Amino acid sequence: MNPQSQIQAAQRAEVECLTDLFDAAMDGFEQLTRLQLQAMREFSRNHSQRLFEALQARDARDWAAWPQQALQASPDGAMQYLQEFGRIAGSVQAAMSEALQQGAARLQQQLQEAAGQAGAQAAPEAPQRQAARARGAAGRAS
């Protein structure tokens, strides 16, 4: 393998790593976008329902009691949102970490192959150099 093809192989490994990172980031972005849209839809429905309830108030007592009912809404939705957000963020982080590790492994493999081939090419030259040195030393000695 010549140096140019070694460089191309290393560049290919880097591009694959960047592509894997981009795919992981986009998957996470899509999941977070779906989660955000779902949360916005639920928020809109809940507040629409509360608005309809407020409009149905018959007297001042019903109207005065309405804000307290709105404040007593269950925090379960927010907790579920945060848990899902954390799950998505963790899975994206794990996917990106895996992509980086695979990219580093591919690059290391390419570098090892290049070093092995460079060593194999240098090995045949060494005996030739030693023979030339020996001939030069023998010529000077005579």
Domain ranges for the chain, please list them.
3-141
pTM of the model: 0.59
What SS3 class is residue 72? coil
On the 0-12 / 13-18 / 19+ scale of CB atoms within 10 A, 21 is middle
| 22 φ/ψ sector (left φ>0, alpha ψ -120 to 50, else beta) | alpha
Length of the chain: 142
Distance CA 62, CA 25 (A): 49
| Residue range 14-66, pLDDT digits in tens | 888 889 999 999 999 999 999 999 988 888 887 777 777 767 766 666 666 66
